Structure 1
Amino acid sequence: MPSRQRTRELRRTLWPRGLRARLLVAFVLVTVLGAAAAAWSSAGSASTALVTSTQARLAETIAGQIGAITPELTYPPDQESLDRLRAAVGPNTLVTYQNLRSVSGDGTELITDAVRTEVRGGNRLVTQRIVAEGTPWLLVGTPVVITQPDGDSAPSGIEVYAVHDLTDVEQQIEGFTRSAAGTAALALPPAVLLALVAARSVLRPVREVRDTARRLAAGDLDARSPPRGADELAELTVTINEMAESVQTSMAAMQRMQADARRFAADVSHELRTPLSTLTAVVEVLAATADEMAADSRESAQLAITETHRLVRLVEDLMEVSRFDAGSARLHSEEVDVVGAVRDCLRVRDWLNRVELVAPEEIRLRLDRRRLDVIVANLVGNALRHGTPPVRVRVLTSHEQVWIEVTDSGPGIPQRVLPYVFDRFYKADAARTRTPGSGLGLAIALENARLHGGELTADNIDGGGARFVLRLPVSISAP
C-alpha cells in the first residue's frame, strides 16, 4: 500500500495541475503520438517490404545462376563441376554432393542444420534470416534439379548454400526509423502552436466565468459574463448568469427583509420607551407598597415587577442592537483602569462575594468604560445563571493584548451549541424560554468587543466548565 500511495503522489506531482497546462500536454501528446504512430507504421511497412524484396531478389539471382550452369555439368559431378557451380553462384557459397564439397568465403559456417534438413527433404529453395555477432545474414539453400530425357525433373543430389550480409538492408531500415523519429519531432512545434491556439479559445470563456464567479464571491452581484457561441461553455456561462441573477434577487429581497426587521425593532423599541417609563414608575410605587399587600396580591405584584424589569432590559438591548445594525454605535474612549472597571462592574451588581477576581493591581487602556461594563456584566451574568460556582474572572496583559477570561465550574457548553452561543436570541434549551436574559447579551458583548477592535471567544476548559475570553489590543492603550 505505501508504494501505491507514493506512486499516486508522484503522478499528482508530475501531472500538470492547471487546466491550460493539461490541455497543452494532452493536445501535444495526442498529436505527436499520432504522427509517431503513422511514421512508425510507414517505416515498418517500408522495412518489411525492403527485406522481402531483397530476400526475393537474392533467391531469384541464385536460382538463375544455378539454372544457367546446370546444363553444362556432368552427372554424377566431380570436384571440378562443384567448383564451377560454386564460382557461378558467387562468394560465401557452399556446394555439396555426397562427400564432395566446394567452399568459398567465411560465412558458410553459419548455415544451420534446419536449412540443410529442409533443403534435402523438401527439394525446394529455402531462405532463413539470422543474426550472428550483431550482423544480419540471409541464408539461401536449394537443391540442383536435372531434367531427364523423358522431361521429368529429379534431384541431382547437389546442394547449393549461399550466405549474404544484410548490413546494408539493416542500415536502410535504421534510416527509415530515424526518418520516423524525425517526422514525429517535426510534428511537435506545430502541435504546440495548435495546442496554444486551442487552449486559448477554450480557456477564454472559462477565465471569464472564473472572474465572474470571483466577483460574485466578493459581493459584486451585478457581475455577468457574455456568452460566446453555442457550445457547452456558452451554456455554462448562461447558467452562471442565471444563478447570479437568482442570487442577486434573493439577496435584494433578504436585505429588504433585514432592513424592515431592523427598522421594525428600532421603531418598536423607540415607541415602547415612553409607555415603559410610565410602567416602570408605576412598578416602583407597586414595589414600595408590596409588603403591605396580601400574600396572593404580593406574589402577583412581584411577578409584574420582575416581568416589567425584564421587558425594560429587552427593549434596551433591542435598541442597542439596532444601533449596531445601523452602524451608529460609537466609542466614547477614555483612559480606564481595566482592573478597576471590572471590580466596579462586580460590586455594583453585588457579585463580589460570588465571583473570584484574579488580576494585577492596575492595567490602563483607552477604551469605552460603559461598553466594557456591558461585556463583563453579560459574561459574568451568563456564567452565574448557567454555570456552577466557583465563577472566576482573570485579567491578564502582554505586550500585544489585554484579555479578560471568565470561567465557571459547570458542565460546559455542548459542542453542538458552541457555534451559536453569540447568535441573537439563541437558547441552547428550547424549553428554557423564560430565563431572565433577553437572548441578546452575548451578541451585544461580541459587537462591543469588535467595536474596540478586539474579539470574544467561547470554549470549554479541561475538567468541565465554560470559558469566555475577551481580547483587546494594546494598540488602543493610552499614551
Structure 2
Amino acid sequence: MRWWPRGLRPRLLVAFVLVTVLGAAAAAWAGAGSASAALVRSAEQRLAGTVTGQITAVTPGLTHPPDQEALERLRTAVGPDTVVTYEGLVSADGPDRTTDELRAAVRTRHRLVTQRVTAEGTSWLLVGTPVVITAPDGSRTPSGIEVYAARDLTAVEQEITGIVRTAVLTAALALPLAVVLALLAAASVLRPVRDLRDTARRLAAGDMDARSQPQGADELADLTATVNTMAESVQTTMAAMHRMQTDARRFAADVSHELRTPLSTLTAVVEVLAMSADGMEPDARESARLAIIETKRLVRLVEDLMEVSRFDAGTAVLRLEDVDVSAAVRACLHARRWLGEMELVTPPVVWARLDRRRLDVVVANLVGNALRHGAPPVRVRVSEVGGQVLVEVTDSGPGVPEEVLPHVFDRFYKADAARTRTPGSGLGLAIALENARLHGGGITAANRAGGGARFVVRLPKEGRG
C-alpha cells in the first residue's frame, strides 16, 4: 500500500492514532446506540402508558354496546391523532395512520401493541389496544372497542440526534489526545531504536568503541545488550586481525629488506655464471641456466614484495610530471622488446600529469600478463575520454574464466595450479591496480565478446594531489 507511511515513527503514530480514535469512536457509537435504544424504549413505554391510562379513566363510564357519542368521548379523552372503532362505528381525529399489520396484531393478541412508522418524513409511534370490560368478579372480556393512537416521535429523534452528535464530538476530541499520546509513546519506544541506529552508524564508520546504554528491562534493552556484545566481539576480532595483518606486513617488509643485500650479491654471481655458462658441460650449463632463471624470479618477487609493503604502509608517493602517455607506453614496450609481438594503437600525443615510473609498471604488468597467459595478437590502445586517459590491453586467448574474474587483482592468486612455476610472482596485477588507484584511477578486467581478455586502465589527466 503506497499510502502507508514507510518510517517507523510515522507508522507508530498512525497506528496508535487509528487504534485510539477507532476505539473511542466505537465506544461512543456503542454508547450512543445503547442510549438511543433505551430512549426509544422509554418513550414507547411512556406513551403507551399514557394512552392506557387515558382509556382506563374513561372506560367505566361507557355504555355497552357503545354508540357514536361514547366513541367520540373516548377519542376525545385519548387525544388528537386517535381512531376509535367498534364494529361499523368509527370516531377519528386527524388522518388515520393505522396499518393493517397493527390492526391484525391487536385483534389476534387481544393486548396493547406498538409499532413505529415513518410518514411524510416524520416518525410516529402507533399504539393499538382493545378495550376490555372487567366484571365485578374480576373476569375480563373484550368489548369489541379498539383504540388506535399515533404519537409524534420528533422530540425523541432530536434527542437521539443530540446523543449521536455528542458521540461524534467525543471521538473528534479523542484525536488530538491520541496524537499527543502517540507522540509520547513513539518517543519512548523509538529513543532506544535511535540510539541503536547511531551506534550502528558509528560502528560502520570505524568507531569500534561505540556502545548504547540499555534502558529498562524490555526487549529493546535485551537487543541493546546484544548489539553491545556483538560490537565488543567484532572489536576484539578486528583488533586481532589488525595485529596479524600488521605483523604479516612487517614480516614481509623486513624479510624483503634483509634479502636485498644477499640477493644483490647472488645476482652478481649469477651474472658472472651466465657469462661463463657457454664453456660448461651440458649438465652444468643447464643447472646454471635454471639457477639464473630462479634467481631472477626471486629478485623480482622480493622487489614486488617491497613495493606491496610500501602500499600497505602508506609510504608510496607519486612523482607527478607532464607525461606524453603515447610515448611512455611505446618506450615501455620497446625497453622490453615487445613492440614486435603486438599491435600498438595510439594518437601521436596524449598528455597527462602522471608518475612515469608507475605508469611503466602498470603497462608492463598488464602486457606481460597478456603475453604469458593470452594469445596473439595482443593489442595496446591508448585514448583519452573527457578528463581521463585510457590504456586498453587486449589479447586473443581463451579469456579469463568467469569464476576467476573477481580475483584477478588478488595478491598471489593464480587460477591454474600449473602456473605456480611461471615467471610471475602473483603480485603483478595487484601492484598495477594499486598504482592506478594511487593516481586516483583504476583498472577493470573483463572478457571480449570475440574472445580474449580485456584490461582497461583509467587515469585522470590532471593527476592526483
Q: 2:105 matched to 1:118?
A: yes
The answer to whether 1:17 aligns with 2:27 is no
1:132 maps to 119
| Alignment-derived partner of residue 60 in structure 1 | 49
State the alpha-carbon separation in 1 of the partners of residues 146 and 405 from structure 2.
Answer: 102
Contact 1:359 1:395 in 2 (8 A): yes
Paired residue for 1:292? 279
| Aligned partner of residue 187 in structure 1, secondary structure | helix
The residue number in structure 2 matching 1:277 is: 264
Q: Distance in 1 between matches of 2:417 and 2:177?
A: 70
Partner SS, residue 443 of structure 2: strand
Partner of 1:81: 70
Instruction: Give the match for residue 455 of structure 1.
Output: 442
The alignment partner of 1:307 has SS state of helix
Alpha-carbon distance in 1 for matches of 2:357, 2:53: 122
Q: SS at 1:439's partner residue?
A: coil
2:65 aligned partner, one-letter code: P
**Aligned: 1:33 with 2:26:** no
Which range is displaced more, 74-83 or 53-62?
74-83
- Tell me whether 49-58 or 61-70 shows the greater mean CA deviation: 61-70
Query: For residues 207-227 of structure 1, what are the alpha-carbon distances to aligned partners after superposition, in whole Å with 9 as ceiling and x for unaligned?
Result: 112111111100111112222
Name the structure 2 match of 1:102. 91
Question: 8 Å contact 1:24–1:199 — kept in the other structure?
Answer: yes
* Maintained 8 Å contact 1:339/1:362: yes
Q: Is the 8 A contact 2:351 2:461 kept in 1?
A: no
Q: Unaligned 5+ residue runs, structure 2?
A: none
Instruction: State, as a whole percentage, how many aligned pairs show the same letter.
Output: 73
Give the aligned residue type for 1:30: V
Q: Match of 1:14, SS?
A: coil
Given the alignment, which residue of 325, 336, 347 partners 1:360?
A: 347
Distance verdict in 2 for CA 1:368–1:46, change over 3 Å: same
1:445 aligns with 2:461: no
Asked whether the equivalents of residues 27 and 191 of structure 1 are also in contact (C-alpha less than 8 Å), the reply is yes
Residues 164 and 474 from structure 1, CA distance in 2 versus in 1: closer, same or farther, beyond 3 angstroms? same
8 Å contact from structure 1 (residues 364, 477) kept in 2: no
Matched positions, count: 465
Once the two structures are overlaid, the 10-residue window that deviates more, 358-367 or 196-205, is 196-205
C-alpha displacement of 1:431: 4.4
Match of 2:212 in 1: 225
Cα distance, 1:229 vs structure 2: 2.4
Shift of 1:149: 5.2
Cα shift at 1:173: 0.7
**Matched residue type, 2:90:** R
- How far residue 54 of structure 1 moved from its aligned partner, in angstroms, is 0.4
- 1:326 aligned residue: 313
Kindly provide the amino acid, as one letter, of the partner of residue 310 in structure 1.
R
The residue aligned with 1:466 is 453
Q: Which residue of 2 aligns with 1:350?
A: 337
Aligned amino acid, residue 43 of structure 1:
A
| Residue 392 of structure 2 is aligned to residue 405 of structure 1 | yes
Q: Distance in 2 between matches of 1:386 and 1:338?
A: 25
- Provide closer, same or farther for how the CA distance between residues 430 and 87 of structure 1 changes in structure 2, counting only shifts above 3 A: farther
1:301, distance to aligned residue in structure 2 (A): 2.5
3-state SS in 2 of match to 1:81: helix
2:395–2:452 CA contact under 8 A, matched in 1 = yes
Cα deviation code 1:70-121 (max 9, x no counterpart): 1212222222222211111111111112222111112x23x22211111111
* Cα root mean square deviation, aligned: 1.8
What residue identity is the alignment partner of 2:446? D
Task: Give the superposition deviation at 1:472.
Answer: 1.2
**Whole-Å Cα distance in 2 between the matches of residues 77 and 465 of structure 1?**
122
Residue by residue, what CA displacement relative to the aligned partner does 1:405-448 show, whole Å, maximum 9, x if unpaired?
11112232222222221111112224432222111111100111
| Matching residue's letter, 1:412 | G
Tell me if the contact between 2:82 and 2:92 (Cα under 8 Å) persists in the aligned partners.
Answer: yes
Q: Are positions 1:193 and 2:193 aligned together?
A: no
Say if 1:150 and 1:198 are closer, same or farther in 2 by CA, change over 3 A.
closer
Residues in 1 aligned to 2:364 and 2:105: alpha-carbon distance in whole angstroms: 111
Equivalent residue, structure 2, for 1:264: 251
**Cα deviation code 1:114-141 (max 9, x no counterpart):** 1111111110111112233432221111
Write the deviation string for residues 314-367 of structure 1: whole angstroms up to 9, x where unpaired: 111000001111111111222221101111111111211221111100112221
Please tell me the residue identity of whatever aligns with 2:286: E
> 2:132 is matched with which residue?
145
One-letter amino acid matched to 1:424: R
SS at match of 1:332: coil
